[in-house]
Structure 1
Amino acid sequence: MTKVDIISGFLGAGKTTFIKQLIEQVFTGEKLVLIENEFGEIGIDGGFLKDAGIEITEMNSGCICCTLVGDFSKALQKVLEEYKPDRVLIEPSGVGKLSDIVKAIEDVKKDAEIEISGRITVVDGKKAVLYLKNFGEFFEDQVKHASTIVISRTQMMSGEKIEECVHILREENAEAAIISTPWDELSGEAVCRALDHGAEIEEFLQNHSEHEGECGCGHHHEHEGECGCGHHHHGHHHHHADEIFTSWGKETAHKYTDEELDFLLKALSETEGYGTILRSKGIIPMADGTWKQFDLVPEEYEVREGKADYTGRVCVIGTDLKEEELLKLFHI
């Protein structure tokens, strides 16, 4: 029986970092396959996890949870047949609905010996309130359907803010195990205990299904119009990620100066002139001959040294993206 763990989380929550920790500390000695699905045209994280000896199936042409449900089932079956892994880790797109991914796995279960071991959702503690307010339909779905919730960036938060975040998450999910201790302080055993606690309620989740008359954010509404997920509805219907989020990805041969990189990251994280930016990442050549990798979520970003690639690549995900302005900003 192959175990399947889904590690979901909204854009930029830190899923890849947490997966790396699971691989190194929790699932050691197991034969693992990671299936990741980037929402967007350009996969940038792939090389980073290949170093850990994991096979990656990148599916960049769409989103597991909507347009790729059929292909996803095929990809999962192929992985099971070819690699016969002990465990499959699935890292869905940041704008994927966890409930849709679970449905896709349930479809494969009919023909394969697999069981869902855990539904882990990684939540950026500093952004939970913002995302619930603006993207509730997607964010709530990931929180509501999780068996374990992992709060990231707690080392940058006060005790009061962490408690507030846990309270907000508890309102959406009363059952899940919630990891609120900074990850780097946790031993593999501590993470295991949280995942085991999550596994106990997996059965409860298996029997839980959404009812008619609920909108995508999982709340029952008596009125038409504004639903809790922050989008205006005519009646109740589910959105797909590609109806709301846009992904803009380009290759670039431009060699960036430190000033240019600094300017463009500040512009994307602080101004509205390019649309609502939720996530941006890239690997780019610098004028001094080095390469830099950047990672950005609203109001914050980080830059680190990167390895040379065949060309520079950048990806921006958000809503109402201004593509012409982005081309100018990135000198493309």
Structure 2
Amino acid sequence: MKIIILGGFLGAGKTTVLLQYARSLISHSTQNGNPVVILENEISEAGVDNQLLSRNHFLVKNIFSGCICCTSSAQLEQSVREIERNYSPEYLLIESTGMAYPDSVRRTLRDAGSWDTGIVALVDCKRWHKVKCAMPDFVTSQLKDASVILANKIDKVNENEQREVIADVSRYNSSARIFPISAIKKQPDELWTKITSLCLGKG
């Protein structure tokens, strides 16, 4: 089982990206049953994102009792082991809450097992400067260990602003590949394939 952690700030578009990514993984999988399982981390029990994913016919599991990078690390490990045992998916996509630290989530998983694990981080091009000024340490923690960073919502900024955001983001993680996208549009399957390869050390 391969694990991709999807991190990013609140409102950056994680669920929209997750829907596209999961569909692409499923379409290219040769595995029967449940090739992709999604693990949601919702602080609120309302589970709005979970309802959206379920309506789109994805198998979704949830962790509700707190942020998975801190208070629920044991529950995270237990949930991942249960998913592997009960469903044996080819891929597990973990959408962490916008307040989680993806590097801590990956550390928990690496300490718990031998899963191949990668991080994709999202930034909101429109709100980038506001977010980085308001929460500089949090921004660093979100981006520093990502293999791939998706600069989302490029439809909301002009070309100069887009270039400025991407240049600024690269200062937080010079080794990550940064892809500008507008997740409201369908992205090519080649992009998702490249992201998977980069996250799992094959790109």
Kindly state the Cα deviation for residue 115 of structure 1 after the two structures are TM-superposed. 1.2
How many Å separate the matches in 2 of 1:26 and 1:80?
A: 17
- The letter for the 1-side match of 2:108 is A
CA RMSD of aligned residues (A): 1.9
CA shift digits 1:131-171 (9 cap, x unpaired):
11111222211111110001111011100001110011111
Which position in structure 2 is the counterpart of 1:23?
Answer: 22
Instruction: Name the SS for the 1:45 alignment partner.
Output: helix
How many Å separate the matches in 2 of 1:121 and 1:161?
A: 19
Instruction: Name the SS for the 2:166 alignment partner.
Output: helix
In structure 2, the CA distance between the partners of 1:68 and 1:169, relative to structure 1 (3 Å rule), is: same
TM-score normalized with structure 1 length: 0.56
Asked whether 1:66 is paired with 2:50, we answer: no
- The letter for the 2-side match of 1:101 is V
CA shift digits 1:171-223 (9 cap, x unpaired):
10001111114342631113322442444489xxxxxxxxxxxxxxxxxxxxx
Asked whether 1:143 is paired with 2:143, we answer: yes
How many Å separate the matches in 1 of 2:15 and 2:26?
A: 15
Which position in structure 1 is the counterpart of 2:190?
Answer: 189
Equivalent residues of 2:63, 2:75 under 8 A apart: no
How many Å separate the matches in 2 of 1:67 and 1:159?
A: 41
Alignment of 1:247-326 (within 5 A): none
Kindly state the Cα deviation for residue 32 of structure 1 after the two structures are TM-superposed. 0.8
Count residues in correspondence: 197
TM-score normalized with structure 2 length: 0.89
Equivalent residues of 1:8, 1:92 under 8 A apart: yes
Instruction: Name the SS for the 1:175 alignment partner.
Output: coil
CA shift digits 1:28-63 (9 cap, x unpaired):
235111001012343212121113332222222211
Q: Which runs of 5+ in 1 are unaligned?
A: 203-332
Asked whether 1:4 is paired with 2:8, we answer: no
Which position in structure 2 is the counterpart of 1:14?
Answer: 13
Alignment of 1:1-332 (within 5 A): 2-28=1-27, 29=29, 31-109=35-113, 114-116=115-117, 118-183=118-183, 184=185, 186-200=187-201
Which position in structure 2 is the counterpart of 1:261?
Answer: none
Kindly state the Cα deviation for residue 125 of structure 1 after the two structures are TM-superposed. 0.9
